[in-house]
Amino acid sequence: MSFVEYGDTIKDGDTAIVFLGHESMFPVKVQHGTVTQTKYGVIRHSTDLIGKKYGSKVTCSKGGWVFILHPTPELWTMNLPHRTQILYSTDISIITMMLELKPGSIVCESGTGSGSLSHALIRTVAPTGHLYTVEFHQQRADKAREEFREHGVEHLVTVTNQDVCKNGFGVSNIADAVFLDIPSPWEAIGHAKSALKPEGGRICSFSPCIEQVQRTCLAMEEFGFTEINTLEILLRVYNVRTISLQIPDLGEAAEDNSSTGFDSSNPSNQGSPCANLQQGTVQFKSGVPLREMVGHTGYLTFATKS
């Protein structure tokens, strides 16, 4: 099992996603002799999972059923264990596009955090690219290495435990893009410039506060970055549901049928809309916004190395 390569069957040691519904799913590490409890009953890994195809419907001990899905960066973002605040697919999608990432790209990231963005970056640059990710916290760096190894992507990523603001990324003049998600990104702009290739590399900084953005933009300008721009992504979700509305009673047809040439006694007019209009209901699909929506997550500042 690998997050960048699809496998047909579930194997011992795989990470799989137990899907109970769109709002209810969780990851599980498949192991011989292990059981997983769900609200529908027990899943026995040896008999219910190992050897089955990903996407299979698995019946639990109480008679309910779940789907077992192959992991992807998108599913992992929704189910990963949170060690820090994470980036979600809304911001991740614009980051990978605006940094112009593709297979073979070299990317530097700080900090690694819970690895939500890291998995998406690895999938984007695979199979020949590489991610250099820096994490200040020792335990988080060790856990990230462990997860990358379990997820079959350790050959595509190098995890370094150090302070990027003081020591940089550990590489020079090779990166196609740099991503910063740290409290004081303006202190790492110089190291980001050193890590980027000589010309044309892209940088992105994620900050929740506008004061951080202001200082970062000033630092980018000081170090000669161009095309500096900041944006904010707001997601508004709609529920598609069936709505029933009563057909309005518009009253009788035109009072003077003779003036309009309408003759209700004429058999040819019996099928007209006015003749068949009856009080009732009509059903149709409608998109209804959620009562609550995810608001501000952070500001994304992009720039290009001149």
Measured distance CA(19)–CA(293) in Å, rounded: 24
In sequence order, which residues have a C-beta less than 8 Å from that of residue 232 and are 6 or more positions away? 296, 298, 299, 300
| 104 marked as binding residue | no
**What six digits make up the tokens of 3?**
């997050």
| 181 marked as binding residue | yes
| 256 marked as binding residue | no
Could you give the count of Cα atoms lying within 13 Å of 256 in the half-sphere of its Cβ? 2
Residue 100 near residue 176, CB atoms below 8 Å: yes
| 63 marked as binding residue | no
In sequence order, which residues have a C-beta less than 8 Å from that of residue 71 and are 6 or more positions away? 1, 3, 15, 16, 17, 27, 151
Q: Write out the H or E segment, with its range, that includes residue 304.
A: strand 299-305
- Chain centroid to Cα 9, Å, comes to 25
| 115 marked as binding residue | yes
N-terminal to C-terminal alpha carbon distance within the chain: 41
From residue 50, alpha-carbon distances to 8, 25, 44, 149, 176 in Å are: 11, 19, 9, 20, 40
Residue 131 near residue 148, CB atoms below 8 Å: no
Annotated binding site: 114-117, 135, 163, 181
Annotated binding site for S-adenosyl-L-methionine: 114-117, 135, 163, 181
